Structure 1
Amino acid sequence: MSRDTHFGFQTVPDSEKQGRVDAVFDRVARRYDLMNDLMSGGLHRIWKDAMIAWLSPPRTGAGWSVLDVAGGTGDIAFRIAEAAPASEVTVLDINPNMLDVGQARARKRGLADRLTFVEGNAEDTGLPDGAFDAYTIAFGIRNVTHIDAALEEAYRVLKPGGRFMCLEFSQVEMPLLDRIYDLYSFNAIPAMGRIVAGDAESYRYLVESIRRFPDRETFADMIRDAGFSRVQWRALSGGIAVLHSGWRT
């Protein structure tokens, strides 16, 4: 019997969660950037820039390889490719619709020949051991069915000395701001989703999934349990989002 996993306000078996997540992103793929603007008030762009700044990709030197997971629309990959012109970036996403959006955007930006788009699961990428210098995942790990398995897979595909970096929404811990954020998240975001995309329920799930995700210290411990060392985190915008970093030994 499978272990139950909370999915929004429902409890569903692990065997069904991935299908539910896929259905959500099938519906919102074409409006994913707009969705992130709605959910973060546009701050996701600043947070992603902060992620790349902390990652600090090398501007010179060929062969620095990055795996960007759950990054189908290319937001992180584009930033890395522009910051490190000699880098090799592989974008992995389980959802083909998201990958289609990313590939189209890459062509428009003139980056199609510098990025590789791969359909795959964060829990079992099918990629070689020790193949990458860095592993990034932004706003994706909370939707993975087995987070511990995804972290172990991240460790496996990284080279010794490789960098793991995750950007994810988190729980606000500042008094008053937490209540304002909850009111905005559970009321305004689904309403905007209904108006803009004709889909309130997908947006409601995305808000609820944030509340189900482990707090920053618990998630840091999970990263350590996967084998990473020098694990650190940085709260952004009062804790609305958090960056976690770790190194493969």
Structure 2
Amino acid sequence: MSERTATFGFRDVDAREKPSLVRGVFDKVAGRYDLMNDLMSAGVHRLWKDATAARLNVQPGEVIVDCAGGTGDMARRFAKMARAAQLRRGLDKDAVVHVIDYNAEMIAAGRERGSEPEITWAVGDAQRLPLPDACADGYCIAFGIRNVTDIAAALREARRVLKPGGRFVCLEFSRPTSEAVRAAYDLWSFKAIPAIGELVVKDRESYQYLVESIRRFPDQQTFAQMMRDAGFSRVTFTNFTGGVAALHQGWAI
């Protein structure tokens, strides 16, 4: 991959072409995106997301960016968490959770599921967020950064919008830590997931892309270094399910 190309599954494409290709994938899968996540992970993605929300630990009055927030799975967790803390502590400051996603169909699917008073919805690009500098206390991107054309640019943009001391969390598929897990995961990914996509969404090609995009994403250590290069401090990661997914965390210090 060069500055003029970007990954799209196992292919390298013109970087200018990738956004429309990714948009086409999510236009097709948006309506059943959440159902497919349950089927593909046997529901385990919910546990990973719960752990990610707990790590971000949203508090009343905070401003949170849920980038590539899609149907609002993470945003609803953040809103519920902040509201519970608000009631427990008798505070009157609502949290604000900005769901920003490049794909209008995903945003529409999220809104159709219903919203929460803390949540706002907007179509926007992770590489050029429609937000001012140092405006957010926390930033989350869950299963979205591998679809960004320029990952380094998205990380720098996340760093830009965070206040000093702001928290960054990224949940993404990663590299299994053992050969046994890797072999089983490859079998499931390349054989079962595209077949499930074809059966449930009538779209094998999109899920083939999603599986391939996982394999092209940097491993845990490489991504952690990319975060440091973007200006994040105290960078750590936690493997989930033997490294099938990983939660990366950093601070805007």
Is TM-score (shorter-chain normalized) higher than 0.5? yes
Q: Which structure 2 residues correspond to residues 1-249 of structure 1 after superposition, within 5 A?
A: 3-58=4-59, 61=60, 63-85=61-83, 86-107=94-115, 111=116, 113-249=117-253
Does the 8 Å CA contact 1:2/1:13 hold for their aligned counterparts? no
Deviation at 1:2, TM superposition (A): 5.5
Deviation at 1:11, TM superposition (A): 1.9
| Structure-1-length-normalised TM-score | 0.94
Measured against aligned partners, the alpha-carbon deviations of 1:102-160 in whole angstroms (never above 9, x if no partner) come to 112134xxx1x321101100000121001100000000000000000000000000111
Does the 8 Å CA contact 2:7/2:149 hold for their aligned counterparts? no
In the alignment, the residues of structure 2 paired with residue 9 and residue 152 of structure 1 have an alpha-carbon distance, to the nearest angstrom, of 25
In the alignment, the residues of structure 1 paired with residue 3 and residue 46 of structure 2 have an alpha-carbon distance, to the nearest angstrom, of 37
In the alignment, the residues of structure 2 paired with residue 153 and residue 217 of structure 1 have an alpha-carbon distance, to the nearest angstrom, of 21
Does the 8 Å CA contact 1:91/1:116 hold for their aligned counterparts? yes
| Structure-2-length-normalised TM-score | 0.93
Q: CA RMSD in A?
A: 1.2
Unaligned runs of at least 5 residues, structure 2:
84-93
Measured against aligned partners, the alpha-carbon deviations of 1:3-37 in whole angstroms (never above 9, x if no partner) come to 22232232211111111100000000011111212
In the alignment, the residues of structure 1 paired with residue 35 and residue 234 of structure 2 have an alpha-carbon distance, to the nearest angstrom, of 35
Q: Read off the aligned partner of 2:161 and give its amino acid letter.
A: V
In the alignment, the residues of structure 1 paired with residue 98 and residue 56 of structure 2 have an alpha-carbon distance, to the nearest angstrom, of 16
Measured against aligned partners, the alpha-carbon deviations of 1:60-119 in whole angstroms (never above 9, x if no partner) come to x4x211000001200000000001113111100011110011112134xxx1x3211011
Q: Read off the aligned partner of 1:31 and give its amino acid letter.
A: R
Q: Cα gap change, 1:128/1:40 in structure 2, threshold over 3 Å: closer, same or farther?
A: same
Following TM superposition, the consecutive aligned residue runs of length 4 or more in structure 1 with deviations greater than 6 angstroms are none
Does the 8 Å CA contact 1:7/1:17 hold for their aligned counterparts? yes
Q: Read off the aligned partner of 1:90 and give its amino acid letter.
A: H
> Is the deviation greater in 31-40 or in 150-159?
31-40
In the alignment, the residues of structure 1 paired with residue 114 and residue 75 of structure 2 have an alpha-carbon distance, to the nearest angstrom, of 9
